[in-house]
Structure 1
């Protein structure tokens, strides 16, 4: 239920190549009996996507159908080890509601965690925890327009655990109690979730959807529902929806994981075969049709958005089709059109003084009933006219003259790279992602193909694809007579929405009448271009094997340190992280680190702009990002195994030939300004800028600097700070993944063996003074009725690993107590969270922080409630039962993370040259957590969580807050 709502489940992912997956061979024995069944409502799907299709599904998928109509899909998969993902797809969502039921599909999703046949109210989550499953991570649900999905990630593949998992799903399917007392209790949680999801961006998205799909049921069926229904929902009305749509012949069980399909199918049949549909009348929804001609303009003044968004869109009606080779080829062509338009927009973004920021091209299908295509961008308040003109001109140029051969070649390279990655990584796909893919493909009524099938089918299609075909697909997407223009966000003062709407109309028509300039393609540039250094063959290389954790540490003669962890967790995938310098410890001025990160995101390298570099890397899966951390600077990247040398080439160019262009700086500064404007309009954003810094005594390790500080940073200061660091600071190079260590050593020596670098001196870190006992009220420039409440305590730094692990577990116990008290008993918030944040950079400092979105008028009382829960931990201590319920999911997750490349990179190798104790942590992590005792957590609670030592931050909308940013006062 952390993902309890999908506001806009656009089926765009269908066009992303990972979506070209599969389903399975049809159960012919069951299908043969279809003509003996009574007539089914048209919205209850009886078949499989491959029925009648010339596409054959992934042969590893097994599926079947029970006599009661329930269908299932099974797929063996080995990652994560010894775990199984169970999903229940109910093919009903908000579109299946009547006007009097708006919001009940989502309300019902919540209620299935609040009492079923085998799990009375208040017991299900505790049961999950006792098995080693975390609420929100291993057990979850979401409600969309046309589906409600429940999922479990079981901690074991044992038959008994599988049987219990199926029992839970079967209870969801037909065992809901829907007790009136629980309905009333959960009502507050639903309304709190509605509040927590309310934002300027969400409101704009909702209004745009209503506008784009005017005349259809989609426009009237936001899954969160309407308050008049939520406030009056009762057991009877929920039961009516449940009995209508929660029926075996409207459900699919999906099982992916480390299991045997034959045995699993038997367990599944035992759990589900006895389920029967209730006697209920089903009325299939009438979807309606969108308008298909004319120019429609929507202007949405929304200053809290912090930027001006512009979109040029077309939406049309389609007739649902059976999936086929011809249909997939058509979708492939349209997907390529989006890639080519996207590349043109990125080129325009790079031009001097471009009004476009983050431009994108998208196209896809929605609910199998509608197709859409859109060009979008962000822009400055006064430049929306130039931005709209560029979007309109770019589309018109493509429609008039088509794309070029070079553009098509690049697009093919990009798609081929995605296909190749799917093939190379197929052996280690995650069971949850595979289950999500199966659910999505079933919803789209598309055949799932294996990555090998995708490559075998789409590869030759791509090779033969011509400009004529791609340009034809462009016209197929955009030749309709309907255009929609969206202008939303921060708009010019002094003009009404109606006046702006008329100006948009006039501008669009004027642009149509202009002569079109020809598209000018960007100059291609070579990469790599730096000459290779000369490395003497006899230079000393020191090597130490940490056999107990499978890590090789290599010291090059020039001081470069290399750590290598070869794994088989993620097939053919490699992660790279390079640590150097002192990061924010050496920040010359507040805002410098943030500005540097933003600039590097926008920059290419010395001889190539960002767009030229992307063009040079087309056809690869290489990524490399820059960050400024509390202790170091870093480049973090990834590639496939056979692209690792290209990744090192890119790293070398970023280090030795960085770019500090004024145009890149302008874009980065504008992006930051828009970000700050948007943050100022949300409670979370104001907390990040002011609240986090307040709690950390102004430390740059926490939160963000004020915009006024960021604004003072100029390009020369960033260049002066970064250039010597990039060129001269020693490198710690960490490599984790499916790779040969000897090959890593050879390539790192080849590209970095001649580096001459010298370690800088680190400045002393200033101690942090925590505002114990103080409270700060802050204002968000928002009218949305939601406040953010943070109550925090100072704890300790990171480096006593046993203490850090205990604090982590104490946070889990605290989190669970808040869930029970504030969510379940009071119904006052949707998702309270407690986190432990020990500092790596500031000795002796850390935070235990609780945060929740609440009604503004409840913030003060809930702050007291949080402190009362903390007082309970201090006074009565931690019980054995709640220790067990916090510990078991933690132990399960540890088993998973030890088979995750990211854990080895981020928690073990990074900065291990400075903190060698990190290399010992994997040896004790499981046993260390397992040995934690309840009295140890009680001792920590008494040491740190006394209520009078808490600091409180309340961020409320302007109408509900007191004076902005008052001095902290003692309580």
Structure 2
């Protein structure tokens, strides 16, 4: 599906459309779109339709092996609701898990857990403005498991909608609404009303209204269900390691008897954009980061996707890619008008096609707004150069080629989601190989004039519709904003000037010699040490053809930092954006256009990390880039200031939600105040300097111990040679310390006499209550750590059932476990729930009751299987991915126990018994060790701990 894949490669712009459940185009009519298009569909996909109108798509795919992903899409969302039905589409999504003709309430999740499907990760659903979709990812799609999954999907068409279950679910949905509402949701509501005045899209968020959720009569809910949950509005997608003919027979037999009841639901009248020219809207909201945006809206086009529409779309995307590269260049320069800016096209809620430019503007909203307008005018008045166009075409083609190269190992879940997206967009689902052909045909002979024509269309229609989000009122309001717009619209603009540099980091000196080399046969990994002390672990795989992952660990990470101040990990991004001494980051991106590469920095407990993903033909370039960042970083002040400015604006937002306080304060308190795990305060951000980041990372980069891990579609010989030419050629590195002795680090706090009270500055009806217990480090008792991992899942299941299912106190319940492999004697297990402030004690009581029961009696064999099987399948599936092995093999040179850990993970999980769980609960989950905290809103007359 080239539209999805081309669009996915564009820089994403957060408009609030997706988060608010936006649909993107008219759903396919009761015939497949490719039947009305000149594009051919995926050659291996089976498209079918039953006499009752029910449709299905089946696609064989072997990644992950033996697994499958199922999606059931109903063509109904919040746009289909009348005023007295607002929220019912989403409410019915909840009711699908609350009992049906053949599945009693609560049994659906249990049935899936028994076949290894985890709640949330493996089974979920969502409702948008245009669709309701049910998702299942089966780790093992054997005949029995597939039969269970298909029967449960069929039950969506046979919901009982019992009045008692409806009333119970009202509390859950209201809790979800309370949890999700806040400044960002309100901004989305206000912005939609501004973009779509007087139209249905302007007031139809999927969550609905509290009045409808609380009071909608059972008959109204049943009527909505019968009008829209119909076989002719449903499509089932199955992608996986399956036999299509056999699965198709099952689908046809199982779904043929689904019959619609009563009259069909009507399609909503959504209207069309008007004739507004430049207008402005100012939103004053102190809890949100300041930003400005410009939107142009054209009529929505529901036509089926064709080669002609794809060519026009690609021309538009390429033009916006040029614009985004120019905006990024401005953001990374000296005294930038904004810290980040992007342009993107979106089909918005079947109500218009929008082109939006948006910028983060922490300093000067006027300057940011005018910079966006000038960049747009420069694009339209001076066009794009042939060189710019060729750079973007090369980038698109490289990524599409990389995708096509790995198509045989593309994840089933991603493919299933792409099929869903074609249904939303009235598109044609094509293969990655087809996409290359389509793209090359679309760009054949494409000239800058073609792109410029597409851009003129993109910036036509209503608009610009200007939005300003600011913490302070604007003197003169919208009139002042429009005056700034008008001023920028008449100011002269000069053509752009860009000089591309050649890649400057191809050689690092004499290739390093291999000092030692050995192979771990059962893990199929090779361990190499070079003469300069650099260590390499390489594991060739075919999990995903065309993918090579590279991880670089340098120095000691947080271990080398002082414990009395926050870690500079927030500034790690500035290290990459600062580029290299000989090349700015913009120079790097231009020089490496047409190649596939990435660099993601992070500071971990025991290393500074650089992680990247590439393809075999660009593997050497990826290593050259990462080695250049180690040997010759740019340390540009403007990059540091850019990141510091962004965080300075966003850090205060974290105090506006219980979850933000959890991140900012609880994680540090649970380490007895060790500030290496603390988010910096606003004062610390303002005082931060680039020299501090250089002081923290510079010595580690210059001589700290260095380990490279390579996993993926590469041979051991190729990896050894390429690493030898790059990292192996660097100056000598420090020798690693004895990794079998864990470091002395943070300690878990003692039990407070009463729950610690923390405060957030958000909604008065939101709080988070949590209980945590200390655990030993991983290597103190590996089997015990795996036992606790299963016990964590048991607690998660019971917490969900008790606080959400039985009591209706919470929508979100969660557990978290850490068993450190770095710090001696440190770990914890935490259980938490987001509830109303007055219900915090009920959460503590509920958690205490759960663990008391676990200490008092052994769980049943069925509950053990439901807790353990998803973990087993999750790990088994993970071992089929490069990402899993990149993490599992990190550090094996310095600590050989990690090798044994990789070997024993599954056997140790499988060995856990009910008696083991009870003994672990008795040992660790005692009331005497329980550390409790309650995050409440300001104004609750509670004493707050402040960091």
Bucket of the pairwise TM-score, normalised by the shorter protein: over 0.9
Alignment equivalent of 1:859, drawn from 816, 819, 840 = 840
SS of corresponding position for 2:36: coil
Cα distance, 1:782 vs structure 2: 2.0
Deviations 1:521-547 (A, max 9, x none): 2332221346431137xx454211101
- Residues 870-889 of structure 1 aligned to structure 2 (within 5 Å): 870-889=851-870
Matched, 1:259 2:248: no
1:59 match: 43
Distance 2:302 2:115 in 1: 43
1:439 match: 420
1:502 match: 479
Spell out structure 1 runs of 4+ moving beyond 6 A: 760-763
Deviations 1:129-153 (A, max 9, x none): 1121111111111111111111222
Deviations 1:492-541 (A, max 9, x none): 5xx56xx3222101111122232x231332332221346431137xx454
Cα distance, 1:594 vs structure 2: 2.3
TM-score by length of 2: 0.94
- Residues 9-20 of structure 1 aligned to structure 2 (within 5 Å): 13=4, 15-16=6-7
Matched, 1:771 2:734: no
Matched, 1:578 2:578: no
For structure 2, list consecutive stretches of 5 or more residues without a partner in the other structure. 11-25
For structure 1, list consecutive stretches of 5 or more residues without a partner in the other structure. 1-10, 20-41
Cα distance, 1:561 vs structure 2: 1.1
2:337 match: 355
Distance 1:925 1:708 in 2: 44
Cα distance, 1:833 vs structure 2: 0.7
Distance 1:596 1:966 in 2: 23
2:162 match: 179
Alignment equivalent of 2:443, drawn from 462, 473, 477 = 462
2:314 match: 332
Distance 2:782 2:304 in 1: 57
1:513 match: 490
Distance 1:204 1:374 in 2: 16
2:664 match: 689
2:517 match: 543
Answer with 404-413 or 156-165: which moved more: 156-165
1:651 match: 626
Contact 1:808 1:835 in 2 (8 A): no
Matched, 1:937 2:937: no
2:369 match: 388
**CA separation of 1:843 and 1:12: change in aligned 2, threshold 3 A:** farther
TM-score by length of 1: 0.92
SS of corresponding position for 1:544: strand
Distance 2:591 2:209 in 1: 50
Alignment equivalent of 1:626, drawn from 585, 601, 612 = 601
Cα distance, 1:764 vs structure 2: 5.8
Distance 1:657 1:403 in 2: 33
Alignment equivalent of 1:379, drawn from 361, 367, 386 = 361
Cα distance, 1:487 vs structure 2: 0.7
Cα distance, 1:281 vs structure 2: 4.2
Contact 2:551 2:611 in 1 (8 A): yes
Matched, 1:282 2:240: no
1:214 match: 197
1:4 match: none
Contact 2:27 2:423 in 1 (8 A): no
1:409 match: 390
- Residues 702-781 of structure 1 aligned to structure 2 (within 5 Å): 702-755=677-730, 756-759=732-735, 765-773=744-752, 774-781=754-761
Number of residue pairs matched by the alignment: 924
Matched, 1:612 2:595: no
Contact 1:104 1:230 in 2 (8 A): yes
Cα distance, 1:767 vs structure 2: 4.3
- Residues 956-971 of structure 1 aligned to structure 2 (within 5 Å): 956-960=936-940, 962-965=942-945
Distance 2:735 2:508 in 1: 24
Distance 1:44 1:519 in 2: 43
2:13 match: none
Contact 1:680 1:781 in 2 (8 A): yes
Answer with 926-935 or 594-603: which moved more: 594-603
RMSD of aligned Cα (Å): 2.1
Matched, 1:669 2:644: yes
Matched, 1:201 2:181: no
Contact 1:292 1:315 in 2 (8 A): no
Answer with 261-270 or 851-860: which moved more: 851-860
Deviations 1:679-701 (A, max 9, x none): 12222112211122112212346
SS of corresponding position for 2:215: coil
Alignment equivalent of 1:602, drawn from 560, 577, 588 = 577
Answer with 291-300 or 265-274: which moved more: 291-300
1:832 match: 813
Alignment equivalent of 2:908, drawn from 899, 908, 928 = 928
Distance 2:677 2:820 in 1: 9
Contact 2:505 2:625 in 1 (8 A): no
Alignment equivalent of 1:556, drawn from 530, 533, 537 = 530
Deviations 1:560-588 (A, max 9, x none): 11111111111110000111211001114
**CA separation of 1:211 and 1:321: change in aligned 2, threshold 3 A:** same
Deviations 1:138-176 (A, max 9, x none): 111111111111122224332232222211111112x10
Distance 1:478 1:532 in 2: 47
Distance 1:43 1:396 in 2: 35
**CA separation of 1:961 and 1:473: change in aligned 2, threshold 3 A:** farther
Contact 1:17 1:415 in 2 (8 A): no
Matched, 1:947 2:931: no
Distance 1:447 1:192 in 2: 39
**CA separation of 1:290 and 1:851: change in aligned 2, threshold 3 A:** farther
Cα distance, 1:596 vs structure 2: 4.1
**CA separation of 1:766 and 1:262: change in aligned 2, threshold 3 A:** closer
SS of corresponding position for 2:271: coil
**CA separation of 1:709 and 1:831: change in aligned 2, threshold 3 A:** same
Contact 1:214 1:291 in 2 (8 A): no
**CA separation of 1:56 and 1:767: change in aligned 2, threshold 3 A:** closer
1:76 match: 60
Contact 2:652 2:682 in 1 (8 A): no
Matched, 1:848 2:860: no
Contact 1:365 1:372 in 2 (8 A): yes
Matched, 1:320 2:302: yes
Matched, 1:534 2:534: no
Distance 1:206 1:617 in 2: 41
